[in-house]
């Protein structure tokens, strides 16, 4: 890729380097995430060879790309990380916690450096101290100085068990041709030549002509078996990208994408007859080469800008609206004359729903993307607080809309920090209470109906009812002793409410659970708390799967149509005027199976004009939100349908008790009701 870039400069400015930059930044970010997860999971006392090799490959990939694009600071730091990791995987050094710490700090520094190269206004931490610490750790018990050039390094004795490619006594040396490619970043294969310099007895290599923009090729003199060589090479590149052939068997062999004749000696290859060159298949493009049978493992995926997916979802939303309009108009047609048309519309309905589900699934990503960032955060936080905490995750494969994943990360981060800071006790305190020294925080995700349920649980000290009531009264919040436990737990969502006894950089600044609840409510979600003092706390967050399209129930109040989120609708029933009881201050309740439920008249909430021909609301629709139920008075249930959610706030302004709007089949706008807001209204 480096040579390709240089050629591009000579030819002109017809190559847009920014497209390659973006690919590098994305892949580097993925490698950093993967490296961080593997470092956190590494068992220092019993480090697995494959784990160390995988971490090494991540650093090596970032270094290769950074060197190619001229990001010297990134390349320097990753080179030092790679040197330390190389000695770990060769068993020249034993992994320690200090090494894991410095490597984790380096991943943070690399994120800052990469962000600055992307043009973001960030100040990355200085890397000089990190480089010095890595050098000190790598030089601790090594036999060669870290700053010495690798080519001039003295051979290091390698244990027999770690040198599968060492020559076997009495086994003859042979000549092999090694071809690597096609690769998006061929520089990642350069480490293969270094193996022959670094492993005593492996042999020697010399370069062969090839297309340096996509491939690498060498002539090897070695006594190692093909299988041993493959095992070594797969530390650097994928197995499908490696081709090993006997040097004398290359003539007449079709090597496809390679230039020249790799089976011939280097001199002969440059003087190949024109007749042979004419018979050689023309080299396909890189894209064609990567899509062949020897393609890289990630060739089945495609990187697409989120804006394109959003545009596609918006178009599907318009299609849903158009389909609803056609369905409504079709009901006015006579069955005899338009039977084929109705059948076609039924197919369109089914296909539209299938298309909508397929398009929405493109934006769905697993919760593991969110969960993966918490082990590192918890490790640092527990170390700062002097606590011992274990994180357990469940349901990582549960999928959620990408837009929601990005918005739910901050609230979940705050909940986990709260569990670690407020919930989990100090080790000695836990032992005194008969608990294990290690506290446990469990993060789980699961689907329930049309929603996703995310729970943060800890086995700490839980909430203290007395402490919460006392704090609430100090802040002037009305808190009678008759409050139920559930109502007391809800107090922590009051603005500025904090039970921290001291202000630290972790918590106690009065900005906390109220912000969490506000952010979750903005996503049409709910948050509930359950606690047992001395045993632990559970926070349950319930969210819709997507913010774009939802299943709704349309209801009529006088001449107006409203949409209720179907996931919040519990039941509906006919009611007689005598079933409704009026209490103090005009509040109304209705008895449903021995339970009294608040009644909300939508016509009063929204000031709907009532005409004489339609003077009663005989139907009650029970909706549930925030753990409470209310009965809404409506005139008619119009049916269930998919609705495309339009943001009312950005198109008009924020309206109380309304979460959005949609366009009906007849072109009219219908308001989508905020069930959480209506429940809160009934409490007041």
536 and 388 in a single domain? The answer is yes
End-to-end CA gap in the chain: 66
Tell me the pairing of strands 569-574 and 580-582. unpaired
Helix 2-11 crosses helix 17-41 at what angle (to 10 degrees)? 160
What distance in Å separates the CA atoms of residue 122 and residue 108, rounded to the nearest whole number?
Answer: 13
Task: Look at the chain and report how many structural domains it folds into.
Answer: 5
Q: Is residue 301 in some structural domain?
A: no
Q: Is residue 296 in some structural domain?
A: no
What distance in Å separates the CA atoms of residue 665 and residue 663, rounded to the nearest whole number?
Answer: 7
423 and 555 in a single domain? The answer is no
pLDDT band at 334 (very low <50, low <70, confident <90, very high): low
Tokens, residue 328: 């409504």
557 and 639 in a single domain? The answer is yes
pTM beyond 0.75: the answer is no
Tokens, residue 122: 């960030």
Cis before 182? omega within 30: yes
Question: Last residue of a domain, which of 365, 380, 410?
Answer: 365
Reported as a single tens digit per residue, the pLDDT across 639-673 is 888 787 877 777 788 788 888 888 887 778 899 99
Tokens, residue 256: 């496809």
Tokens, residue 5: 């870039």
560 and 537 in a single domain? The answer is no
What distance in Å separates the CA atoms of residue 412 and residue 430, rounded to the nearest whole number?
Answer: 25
Reported as a single tens digit per residue, the pLDDT across 564-580 is 988 888 898 888 777 78
* Exposed e or buried b per residue across 562-594, where buried means at least 16 C-beta atoms within 10 angstroms of its C-beta: bbbbbbbbeebeebeeeebeeeeeeebbbebee
Neighbours of 543 (CB within 10 A): 23
What distance in Å separates the CA atoms of residue 289 and residue 296, rounded to the nearest whole number?
Answer: 10
Whether the per-residue pLDDT at 502 is higher than 50: the answer is no
372 and 359 in a single domain? The answer is no
Provide φ and ψ at 117, rounded to 5°: -65, -25
Average pLDDT score, the chain: 76
325 and 395 in a single domain? The answer is no
Residue in the structure block whose two tokens are 């790309």: 65
Question: Last residue of a domain, which of 484, 511, 544?
Answer: 544
354 and 336 in a single domain? The answer is yes
Q: Is residue 299 in some structural domain?
A: no
428 and 417 in a single domain? The answer is yes
Q: What is the pLDDT of residue 246?
A: 81
Reported as a single tens digit per residue, the pLDDT across 123-175 is 777 888 888 889 888 887 433 333 333 333 333 333 333 334 344 444 567 88
Question: Last residue of a domain, which of 291, 316, 346?
Answer: 291
**Torsion 447-448-449-452 (CA) sign:** negative
What distance in Å separates the CA atoms of residue 105 and residue 84, rounded to the nearest whole number?
Answer: 14
**112-126, 133-147, 368-382, 418-432: segment of lowest average pLDDT:** 133-147
What distance in Å separates the CA atoms of residue 307 and residue 609, rounded to the nearest whole number?
Answer: 42
376 and 483 in a single domain? The answer is yes
373 and 413 in a single domain? The answer is yes
Q: Which domain holds residue 517?
A: 367-544
Tell me the pairing of strands 569-574 and 216-222. unpaired
523 and 446 in a single domain? The answer is yes
Q: Quick one: DSSP state of residue 184?
A: S
What distance in Å separates the CA atoms of residue 311 and residue 170, rounded to the nearest whole number?
Answer: 67
């Amino acid at each position: 890729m480096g040579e390709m870039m240089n050629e591009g400069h000579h030819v002109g400015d017809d190559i847009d380097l920014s497209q390659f930059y973006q690919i590098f930044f994305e892949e580097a970010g993925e490698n950093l995430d993967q490296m961080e997860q593997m470092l956190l999971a590494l068992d220092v006392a019993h480090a697995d060879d494959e784990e160390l090799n995988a971490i090494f490959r991540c650093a090596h990939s970032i270094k290769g790309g950074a060197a190619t694009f001229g990001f010297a600071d990134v390349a320097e730091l990753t080179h030092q990380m790679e040197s330390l990791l190389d000695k770990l995987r060769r068993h020249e050094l034993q992994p320690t916690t200090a090494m894991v710490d410095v490597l984790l700090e380096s991943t943070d520094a690399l994120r800052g450096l990469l962000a600055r190269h992307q043009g973001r206004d960030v100040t990355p931490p200085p890397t000089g101290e990190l480089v010095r610490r890595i050098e000190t750790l790598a030089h601790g018990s090594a036999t060669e100085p870290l700053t010495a050039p690798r080519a001039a390094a003295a051979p290091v004795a390698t244990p027999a068990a770690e040198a599968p490619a060492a020559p076997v006594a009495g086994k003859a040396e042979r000549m092999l041709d090694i071809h690597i490619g096609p690769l998006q970043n061929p520089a990642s294969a350069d480490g293969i030549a270094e193996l022959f310099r670094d492993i005593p007895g492996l042999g020697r290599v010399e370069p062969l002509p090839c297309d340096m923009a996509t491939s690498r090729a060498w002539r090897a003199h070695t006594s190692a078996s093909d299988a041993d060589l493959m095992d070594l090479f797969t530390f650097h590149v994928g197995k499908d990208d490696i081709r090993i052939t006997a040097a004398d068997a290359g003539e007449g062999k079709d090597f496809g994408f390679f230039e020249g004749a790799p089976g011939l000696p280097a001199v002969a290859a440059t003087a190949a007859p024109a007749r042979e060159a004419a018979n050689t298949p023309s080299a396909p493009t890189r894209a064609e080469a990567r899509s062949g049978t020897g393609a890289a493992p990630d060739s089945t995926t495609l990187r697409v800008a989120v804006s394109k997916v959003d545009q596609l979802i918006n178009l599907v939303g318009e299609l849903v609206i158009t389909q609803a309009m056609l369905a409504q108009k079709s009901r006015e047609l006579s069955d005899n004359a338009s039977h084929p048309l109705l059948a076609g519309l039924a197919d369109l309905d089914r296909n539209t729903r299938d298309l909508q589900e397929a398009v929405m699934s493109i934006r769905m990503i697993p919760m593991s993307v969110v969960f993966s960032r918490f082990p590192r955060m918890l490790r640092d936080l527990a170390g700062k607080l002097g606590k011992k905490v274990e994180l357990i995750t469940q349901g990582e494969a549960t999928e959620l809309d990408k837009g929601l994943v990005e918005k739910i990360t901050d609230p979940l981060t705050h909940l986990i920090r709260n569990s670690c800071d407020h919930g989990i006790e100090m080790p000695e305190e836990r032992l005194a209470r008969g608990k294990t020294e290690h506290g446990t925080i469990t993060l789980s995700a699961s689907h329930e109906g049309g929603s996703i349920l995310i729970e943060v649980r800890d086995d700490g000290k839980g909430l203290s009812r007395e402490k919460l009531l006392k704090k609430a009264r100090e802040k002037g919040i009305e808190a009678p002793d008759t409050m139920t436990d559930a109502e007391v737990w809800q107090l922590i969502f009051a603005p500025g409410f904090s039970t921290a006894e001291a202000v630290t950089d972790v918590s106690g600044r009065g900005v906390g659970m109220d912000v969490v609840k506000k952010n979750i409510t903005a996503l049409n979600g709910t948050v509930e708390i359950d606690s047992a003092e001395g045993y632990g706390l559970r926070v349950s967050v319930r969210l819709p799967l997507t913010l774009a399209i939802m299943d709704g129930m349309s209801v009529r109040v006088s001449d107006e149509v409203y949409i209720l989120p179907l996931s919040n609708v519990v039941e509906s029933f006919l009611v007689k005027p005598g079933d409704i009881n009026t209490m103090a201050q005009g509040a109304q309740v209705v008895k449903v199976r021995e339970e009294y439920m608040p009644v909300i008249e939508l016509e009063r909430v929204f000031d709907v004009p009532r005409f004489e021909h339609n003077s009663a609301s005989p139907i009650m629709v029970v909706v549930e939100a925030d753990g409470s139920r209310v009965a809404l008075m409506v005139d008619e249930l119009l049916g269930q349908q998919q609705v495309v959610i339009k943001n009312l706030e950005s198109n008009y302004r924020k309206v109380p008790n309304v979460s959005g709007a949609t366009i009906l089949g007849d072109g009219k706008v219908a308001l989508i009701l905020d069930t959480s807001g209506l429940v809160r209204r009934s409490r007041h």
